[in-house]
A = this chain, B = another copy of it.
Amino acid sequence: MPDLRRGNLLSALPRGGAVELVEVLAQGAGARIERIVSTGQVSPPGFWYDQPEDEFVVVLAGSAVLRFEGGDRRFDLRPGDWLEIPAHVRHRVEFTQADPPTVWLAVHGDITGTILAGA
């Protein structure tokens, strides 16, 4: 059996780095999975993400605030909180906890096409 790719999402965290750390953990034709470690970074003034793909994001440590343009809604995210962001739903990062850092797991791809119970 070949070695399996593996790691720990909560270890090897930077402390107070100037830039966000983005690591691609897995990627194929279907989706890309990233660990993102934020240490206080926020979206630049006036900037909105407008992504061509859906995103599923969960905060695993720290805390963050996401803001959405439509309806000007804000979500405070704590460990375990997840959110599905369909493609082209404009949003920005208003806050990330710096220390201890904020750890996100993000999945990018076509992940919203199927109607789910409770949708």
Contact = CB atoms under 8 A, between A and B. Distances in A.
B27 A84 contact: no
A89 interface: yes
Contacts of A5: 83-84, 116, 119
A100 to B, nearest CB: 13
A85 interface: yes
Interface in A1-28: 1, 4-11, 24-28
A68 B28 contact: no
Given A4-B89, A31-B110, A107-B107, 10 more contacts: A1-B73, A9-B58, A9-B82, A11-B80, A26-B116, A27-B114, A28-B54, A28-B109, A29-B30, A60-B60
